[in-house]
Each structure stands twice: as C-alpha cells, then as structure tokens.
Amino acid sequence: MITMLFLLAKAVFTTNEKGELIAQAPAPEADPSPAAPELPPGDYGMMFVKMFLSLIALVALLGITVWFLRRLINQRMQKRGGGQLIHILERRAISPKTMLYLVQVENQKVLLAESHLEVRRLHTMPDATPLHEESPQ
C-alpha cells in the first residue's frame, strides 16, 4: 500500500533542481469525441495516377490474354482441318427451307440440294468442267 501511495505521489509530484516537491500540471484530458484520423501526407494525384495505370495494365493484360487464346484456338482448328477433302465452294438459298450447295470433294465438284426432308445429289462434274456451261438452243 505504501508503494502504491509512493507511485501515486510520484505521478502527481516531481522534484525540481533544489530537490523540492512541486505539483505537476494535470495532463490535458482526452477529447471524448473521436477525432478523425490524420491522413498521411502524400500526393493524392500521384496515387490516382498509379491506380489508373494499374487499371490500364490489367485491362491490357486481359486483352493480350484473349488475343493469345483466340490465336491458339484458330491455329489448332487449322491444324485439325488442314487435310480436309471436302470444301463448300458456294451455297444459295432456293427457298426458306431449301438450299443448294456446290461442294468440292477431292477432284470432283458436286451440286447438292438440301431440304428439311433430305439431301440429294443433283449433279457431279469433274474439276476441269467449267461452272457456267451454256446450254444448246
């Protein structure tokens, strides 16, 4: 108990150069209302520029990734379809449900008709046959 009184007295009183006890000035009480935290000093314009540049870098990285993936997929599709023997040269709509296809298979051209019911071969011609033959009159 005596040490507690001594610590309390030491907190309230101090000694001067002559060794006399003098009362300490009371510490200012803390403001009961919460104070707004001090903002660190800095250049907010520069922070905004850094944030904006980071955003641009992320968007650019996303764009590069999309471009690379599209290119990769196209290359794989071309490798897979590089040895195709069937090519659709032309297609024409005869009616909403009927289409004509000119298809090249190896060295022959085939004219096909497609409807909602069937696909029918109309004509087969060798590769050297011109497409626009004039009919005799």
Q: What is the 3-state secondary structure (H, E, C) of 42-53?
A: CCHHHHHHHHHH
pLDDT tens-place string over residues 51-78: 999 999 999 999 999 999 999 998 887 7
Residue 73 to residue 66: CA distance in whole angstroms: 11
State the DSSP H helix or E strand holding residue 3, giving kind and residue range, or none if neither: helix 2-12
Judged by average pLDDT, the poorest of 15-19, 64-68, 126-130 is 126-130
122 assigned to some structural domain: yes
pLDDT of residue 32: 57
130 and 113 Cβ atoms separated by less than 8 Å: no
> Considering the entire predicted model, what is its pTM?
0.36
Q: Domain range spanning residue 110?
A: 86-126
pLDDT tens-place string over residues 83-126: 677 888 899 999 999 999 999 888 889 999 999 999 999 999 88
49 assigned to some structural domain: no
31 assigned to some structural domain: no
pLDDT of residue 7: 58
114 Cβ contact list (under 8 Å, min separation 6): 98, 99, 100, 101
27 assigned to some structural domain: no
Query: What total number of domains does the chain contain?
Result: 1
Give the confidence band of 13 by pLDDT, cuts at 50, 70, 90: low
92 assigned to some structural domain: yes
112 and 94 Cβ atoms separated by less than 8 Å: no
93 assigned to some structural domain: yes
State the DSSP H helix or E strand holding residue 66, giving kind and residue range, or none if neither: helix 44-81
